[in-house]
Structure 1
């Protein structure tokens, strides 16, 4: 199959071993979906297991000193992200960080929350619950997939009214793998006195200094995705005065403390994921360097996107490339044959069928009634992974699409 994009040389470990040896992913499966749940390097798993053993060996000493250890990890993580540690709290995941905002923010009757139709489902559901609690409503800004950043900004702000209390907007969208103009929206919202919550779930690791030039009220991001931390590790950054109103979802002994220290105390929760996170992203920094890995992920995504889209096109005679308006370095969309993943439920069902029947871990998404394969790349992926996907899945997906049309 001909592609005009060159496949990058695979990243290697010392001694010429493949990068995948630093992870524990099953060799029996094909892994093309790092962006959903991440993958934890072996050394980070070992570090977390050692911490758990320490916790279980002496729980009294462990939990009495845990807030200080979490605080130290928070400072390291803030350094990695380029954020102010006094404005950075650790939370279990980006959705949990959004829930902190929904639970802490107050609004009068009739207040509105503006979201987009690209928003992550769980975060949007949280917005709907908050709006109901306020006696208000959620307003959805419709942003075409191929909208430019300027057009997307105009559409989001056009959805705002005098009743808008909060805007919730993704920095990188999950279902559609594109950027939204969060800096421009946050600046416009600030001028109108509207609070902005930026969902940067996919951003840590993918981009250096993710808050540069962004003056939002709250930013949340997952470290378990591209930063490869153990799952259950995320940050909530609150640069402005709103931080004084934010409290963890669990009321614990840290409640009287200031932000962010009150987030460091969460009772008997297993917070070893926080403590092991620096080991995970440190492996990548020490082995290849984050700039080199980001460049590799981009080059591999360029190759994979063209390869998979061309393979579908050869079979269907249609164009399967996707214009997302503002593409992401390591997350890409390829349009599926018509009839597949037309809804969120169908996309999840397709994902489950593919992993069960073909041992392929892949992400399928839906937007505006159209199904997509959302590929993602990381250091352990190689060009061969996506060549295997073409050989193993493109004919199968075309066949399954044909079955749905009968």
Structure 2
């Protein structure tokens, strides 16, 4: 049994923004800081992620936030925080794909209102952006590509319409298309890739102004989402790890494009679930053939500096759903499983919120070099399955560079109820 005293020796209190000093110092020279969450519905994870991000933006020059959200929805919020006519509440009202509470909640509203106020004091070229990394918005991104081409490149709009017509026989549900491709060899892959390739080949060849170049970048990213979503949904219906990997590789590719778009020396903060921002090589995900955004960031940007920050809690309540597409509920989170990482942290630290910044591998105590079950709560959660589910075996010292601990947590406050009809459903391989 690992000694709780070894945990206490590394922990520092976490009560005020100043208590983040060791982590801000650790993260300050990195180009990427990926900040996680152990659930998609816990207030403390969202609020402290925001508090850390504010310090990284104001003190260390981080220039954009990229999140586990859809590109078109996050683009509306980007416009709201960088000086557009919409306010934050109007932009958050546009999040209408289940689970809306992931982004349309009071903690995100507070974060975005602060970012809007911060940006208002800066010239446009220095304002901090907000971007979506995810792959689900197939239909919306197709509409955005066609809309942009009709306005800015009408000679090529018809070609995109013809390519995207490939999806029309299957209706608005991308899974209907994906299921059909299991039985026939034809699919839309070549058509959607050709649209993206054609747009990218013309990039920068028209003498665009900075504003026009930004709009072209947005359109190209929507085209990349269409290509990524087509791959994702085909992989999802086949099962196995491929759909997870397609999604995380897409997020990593989008992050790379954002770094390039924001220019040399740009620095980004990422918000996503622990299962995405942690390094998969330190978990049982690796044995299953799965990668993660955090692993890919390490592999691609090690020389630039990458810091991965995880979260953990012992008990409390959470906003989640009992089944895929069901209404959000406030569900109980029971005390963590005996022998888990959360159990060890609770025995060592109790309910005291704490920050643990991990030393280099060669100097880590034994508990950071040991594999523990580490809780992961998705948008679908069953508290009665704590004995056999909801945990990822993890070597914390390799999975993260730091961990924020909360003994008792509270649920997020959604801004509204879920819509009756989901305009563009996602699939449910893991709920994270």
| TM-score for the superposition, normalised by structure 1 | 0.30
Structure with a larger share of its residues in helix: 2
